[in-house]
Structure 1
Amino acid sequence: MDALPPFTATSVHEIPTIHRRVTTNFLDHTTRTIAYRQKQLRALYWGLKDAEPALLEACKLDLGKSAYETYMTEVGWVLNDIVFMDKNLARFMKDEKAEDIDLTNSFMKPHIRKEPLGAVLIIGAYNFPIQLSLGPLVGAIAAGCTAVLKPSENAPNAARAMQHVIRNCLDADSYQIVQGAIPETTALLDCKWDKIFYTGNANVGTIIAKKAAETLTPITLELGGRNPAIISKNADARLAARRLLWAKLMNAGQVCVSQNHILVEKEILPALIEQMKLALAEFHPKGAENNSDYGRIVNERQWQRLKDMLDSTEGKVVIGGKTDRATLFFEPTVVEVHDPGDPLLKDESFGPLIPILPVDSLNEAIRTANSLHATPLGLYAFGSKAETEKILSETRSGGASVNDGFYHASIPTLAFGGVGDSGSGSYRGKASFDCFTHRRSVVTTPWWMERLLAIRYPPYTDAKLKQLKMLTAAKPHFGRQGGSTGGLAWWVLGLGGSDKTGAATRST
């Protein structure tokens, strides 16, 4: 492929023009046909395929990310997503027959049309700069939207590579890319969009939500979270150690869905730490600093933030602790803490810090998890079937994996999203299509029903009201005391005033 242009911020004066361009093209209905959508998806696929070497190199430059990890979690992921979407697009676009429609209303043929929302803004993140930018874009294209993508300025090489692909492969009247930081993002948010999709931290997510509220613009927010892992005394310590380390070593811990802290019953704590040491020795036999597959922190500011967190903890470092500002290296570091108020538990590390808090019981672990963050992005439960079911039943999270680290988030066709302050909305697989689609309810009233519809027209009379009730009133399947009744026959026999137990209900 041609040499990539240097990373240059888009002029803020150009942004309103870019917005008008994609908005105008949407209103010209260009993007509505399946042929157009598939043409764009297929062009994007081959553009990414041709640019694969540049994309792999870009992520190495930005994050120290290995080619293996970049292909697995970024390039290959998006390529497969495009193939999945292209293959299923006709099915996703097809009208749906409305469900639970009574006989009278069924004559109007109620159904759901799948309508594109319009011109959308997608703001990507730096930790998975390709997947978290182009994944939503694939959904927007498939749904028939036009879009402007604003990649993260913290991964400038990936942003340049994506700019090359988008400008050379996609219809410029429908799909544009804007480069820059706060001024450019602010200018984009000053425009009126039909949907905003943002991936990043909660502080910026709050700003975007407030700005979107000014124009009643719908948003999808994919935010971070202080995600807990809970390990019961009956868990397999080796399995928990290996799987949680896999989740935390990915991208040097710069993964919004990896566990932020581990709550472990005291009985199994020594075994867990020992198994973590063994697993790290296996994963990095020459040490993480000498393993080219282990990534680096994205920039010095983020490295310093992690270093400050490590320096501020009252906990004890039991594994790791090595750092190097010059190379932005940060070793996987396990810290045993004893205070739920420790900075490593209160704040999201977004790095390879692994605080472990011993607890006396599973109930204490659940209470602590809920108090630290009531609605994390992910939750990871290790233990017996009964114990993991208890954990799931008594906590909330955007998603969860049982006896594993964020495996639910690694399935590309499984809907992914947060809840509460870890986000709103979901995407991936069919959910990406749905994310940028309006489900439009449509009915067609036939001319021959005019006589049957006479009861809806004034003047209203007692006779019309009686007829209306006869046609529309649903009979409850429960009595006055809340017990179940026997259905229609129950009412025909005059037993509707009694509960299932047979006890007559009193009138009030």
Structure 2
Amino acid sequence: MSLDSESTLVFHTMEEIDQTYARLTKTFQSGATRPLEYRRRQLLQLARMIQDNHTAFEDALIADLNKPRVETTVSEVSHLVTAVLYAVANFEEWALPQPCETKEAWRSSWGATLYKEPKGVVLIISPWNYPLVLTINPLIGAIAAGCPAVLKPSELVPTFTQLLADLFPRYLDPDAYAVVKGGVPETTHALDLRWDHIFYTGNSRVGRIVATAAGKHLTPVTLELGGKSPAVIADDCDFDIAARRVLYGKIQNAGQLCVAPDYALVLRDKVDAFVESLRKAHDEFWPEGDHPLTGSVPISNIVNPRHHARLVDLLNRTKGKVVLGGEIHKDKSISPTILTGVPEDDVLMDEENFAPFLPIVAVDDMDHAMRIVNSKHIPLVIYLFTNQEELKDKFLERTRSGQLVLNDTIMQLVVHEMPFGGQGESGYGMWFGKTTFDVFTHFRGVINVPTAHEPFFQSRYRPYTQDKYEWACGPSRAKIPEA
């Protein structure tokens, strides 16, 4: 192993990565991960690992990100236990062979069936912002599907990564599940190997690198990339509730969340009222005598000085006016910051901010708001605050996004039964719950054509005749209904 000077995390060598890959490949080829009882045992062990080490995970994320214990528990630990147990309760049903609907002529005798088979050895590359949930959630699906998995957490959360590497062999089969510690060179080396599926969560720049590397081996990929997710505030909603919910979503992990509301679109004559509601929500979250940067439970740190400097630069270059927050604490944290007067082409409206900033862009009407949303890359989610059914339908029909969430923020993440994923720059491929099982599963079609049907097939064989040609043309001459 080698020592990374910045994080002090001991990285695996390229040779160790190759050895891990070879070990897991051998395990898969042996068939050891296929039995349902094996998968069930590994899932239960995964749940025990999370539950037994609840406080240790909190401590790790305090060390790496200064993330409050409540945020780690709510967003990372508790829902993971629920997600694992949901998979345990359902994966055997998910794995059942699935009969196919076919023509009546051969439905009973051909037995067309989809068999659910594990794809093989998979690579899961996860980010630093929510390292536990974004590493383990895909793993749940991989285990349930019968796939060995190599996990590559971010080197930017060294305490967490080391903890996970220490815990894995204590709870899970080390011949089937492994953690690789490394930075860009180690990840690049891993991507050169032939995986059966790659699951990447992060930004679009690296997403392109992952997709290119996967393309060399025609490896299927799931990309979870984020983007600029807007909060659209219609004039009929309860501003106090909307502001509280938008600010709640914005300050989680200091805005370093792929589904955080990135900016707000507010009717021009309602901007002041919405800002006042945001002030009220801010004062509820940090009552008098408390402070986001220095209070009893401060906001999470920006992940490192480089990202902190980028955000300070954005604040210095924006044409918007800071109306709340904007305080900067050394190279570690920035207070929740609300800005008004932000033009559509502002620096804060370019790429995903990934920050505790909420730029407010004034719009003339909801059609104007939709034009702004549609002028940018497809977001991972649109948050629309309204009770107007007609406006909800408009956004469904005239905008695109991974999800549309009405009257709240980030709560789609707790609905494990609903597939989650983006489009275009915000990613591709759906996951969560059963869909994550499907991600790592090959649906293998099987039919059995009885020899007794041989007389029926005589028309397909040579020598070809006019009668056989007329028989072959039959399906193409079906009557087409009037429009």
Provide the TM-score with structure 1 as the length reference.
0.90
- In the other structure, the counterpart of 1:377 is 380
TM-aligned CA deviation for residue 468 of structure 1: 3.8
The superposition leaves residues 151-202 of structure 1 with CA deviations (integer Å, 9 ceiling, x where unpaired) of 0111111111211221211111111110011011011011111111000011
1:339 aligns with 2:343: yes
For the residue of structure 2 that corresponds to 1:152, the secondary structure is: coil
- In the other structure, the counterpart of 1:475 is 478
TM-aligned CA deviation for residue 474 of structure 1: 7.1
- In the other structure, the counterpart of 2:468 is 464
1:124–1:198 Cα contact (<8 Å) kept: yes
Whole-angstrom CA distance in 2 between matches of 1:28 and 1:454: 42
The superposition leaves residues 273-297 of structure 1 with CA deviations (integer Å, 9 ceiling, x where unpaired) of 1100001100111221214163221
Whole-angstrom CA distance in 1 between matches of 2:460 and 2:441: 33
1:413 aligns with 2:417: yes
- In the other structure, the counterpart of 1:321 is 326
Whole-angstrom CA distance in 2 between matches of 1:165 and 1:301: 30
The superposition leaves residues 455-474 of structure 1 with CA deviations (integer Å, 9 ceiling, x where unpaired) of 2222222222333444x457
Aligned pairs for 1:3-42 within 5 A: 7-42=9-44
- In the other structure, the counterpart of 1:401 is 405
- In the other structure, the counterpart of 1:301 is 306
For the residue of structure 2 that corresponds to 1:405, the secondary structure is: coil
The superposition leaves residues 202-233 of structure 1 with CA deviations (integer Å, 9 ceiling, x where unpaired) of 10001111111111111000002011121222
Whole-angstrom CA distance in 1 between matches of 2:79 and 2:235: 36
Which residue type is aligned with residue 155 of structure 1?
V
Which residue type is aligned with residue 106 of structure 2?
N
1:300–1:325 Cα contact (<8 Å) kept: no
Within the candidate set 162, 165, 168, 2:167 is matched to: 165
Which residue type is aligned with residue 86 of structure 2?
F
TM-aligned CA deviation for residue 58 of structure 1: 0.5
2:267–2:363 Cα contact (<8 Å) kept: yes
Which consecutive aligned stretches of 4+ in structure 1 deviate over 6 angstroms post-superposition? none
Which residue type is aligned with residue 381 of structure 1?
L
Aligned pairs for 1:36-185 within 5 A: 36-99=38-101, 101-106=102-107, 107-185=109-187
1:400–1:406 Cα contact (<8 Å) kept: no
TM-aligned CA deviation for residue 407 of structure 1: 2.1
- In the other structure, the counterpart of 2:3 is none
Whole-angstrom CA distance in 1 between matches of 2:357 and 2:415: 25
Which residue type is aligned with residue 346 of structure 1?
D
Whole-angstrom CA distance in 1 between matches of 2:18 and 2:57: 29
Provide the TM-score with structure 2 as the length reference.
0.94
Within the candidate set 361, 364, 368, 2:365 is matched to: 361
The superposition leaves residues 44-84 of structure 1 with CA deviations (integer Å, 9 ceiling, x where unpaired) of 21122222221111011111112221111111122111111
Whole-angstrom CA distance in 2 between matches of 1:407 and 1:257: 10
Whole-angstrom CA distance in 1 between matches of 2:38 and 2:477: 46
- In the other structure, the counterpart of 1:3 is none
Which residue type is aligned with residue 446 of structure 1?
P
1:139–1:435 Cα contact (<8 Å) kept: yes
1:422 aligns with 2:426: yes
- In the other structure, the counterpart of 2:269 is 267
- In the other structure, the counterpart of 1:199 is 201
Which residue type is aligned with residue 385 of structure 2?
F
Whole-angstrom CA distance in 2 between matches of 1:456 and 1:26: 41
User: How many correspondences in the alignment?
Assistant: 471
1:382–1:388 Cα contact (<8 Å) kept: no
Which of the two has higher C-alpha Rg?
A: 1
2:291–2:298 Cα contact (<8 Å) kept: no
Whole-angstrom CA distance in 2 between matches of 1:376 and 1:236: 24
For the residue of structure 1 that corresponds to 2:106, the secondary structure is: helix
From the superposition, tell whether residues 291 and 333 of structure 1 become closer, same or farther in structure 2 (CA, over 3 Å). Answer: farther
TM-aligned CA deviation for residue 129 of structure 1: 0.5
Whole-angstrom CA distance in 2 between matches of 1:456 and 1:297: 68
List runs of 5+ in structure 2 lacking aligned partners: 1-7
2:228–2:351 Cα contact (<8 Å) kept: yes
Whole-angstrom CA distance in 2 between matches of 1:26 and 1:184: 23
Whole-angstrom CA distance in 2 between matches of 1:190 and 1:370: 36
Whole-angstrom CA distance in 2 between matches of 1:391 and 1:268: 20
Whole-angstrom CA distance in 1 between matches of 2:106 and 2:459: 14
Whole-angstrom CA distance in 2 between matches of 1:298 and 1:248: 16
1:123–1:151 Cα contact (<8 Å) kept: yes
TM-aligned CA deviation for residue 15 of structure 1: 1.3
For the residue of structure 2 that corresponds to 1:65, the secondary structure is: coil
Which residue type is aligned with residue 138 of structure 1?
I
Which residue type is aligned with residue 333 of structure 1?
T
2:243–2:274 Cα contact (<8 Å) kept: yes
Within the candidate set 241, 245, 248, 2:243 is matched to: 241
TM-aligned CA deviation for residue 372 of structure 1: 2.6
The superposition leaves residues 75-99 of structure 1 with CA deviations (integer Å, 9 ceiling, x where unpaired) of 1122111111111011000011112
1:42–1:82 Cα contact (<8 Å) kept: yes
- In the other structure, the counterpart of 1:506 is none
For the residue of structure 2 that corresponds to 1:32, the secondary structure is: coil
From the superposition, tell whether residues 228 and 460 of structure 1 become closer, same or farther in structure 2 (CA, over 3 Å). Answer: same
The superposition leaves residues 452-505 of structure 1 with CA deviations (integer Å, 9 ceiling, x where unpaired) of 1222222222222333444x45734423xxx2xxxxxxxxxxxxxxxxxxxxxx
Which residue type is aligned with residue 206 of structure 1?
R
1:48–1:165 Cα contact (<8 Å) kept: no
The superposition leaves residues 316-349 of structure 1 with CA deviations (integer Å, 9 ceiling, x where unpaired) of 00111111025x1211100113421101111211
Which residue type is aligned with residue 166 of structure 1?
F
1:227–1:261 Cα contact (<8 Å) kept: yes
TM-aligned CA deviation for residue 362 of structure 1: 1.1
1:56–1:67 Cα contact (<8 Å) kept: yes
Whole-angstrom CA distance in 2 between matches of 1:454 and 1:67: 72
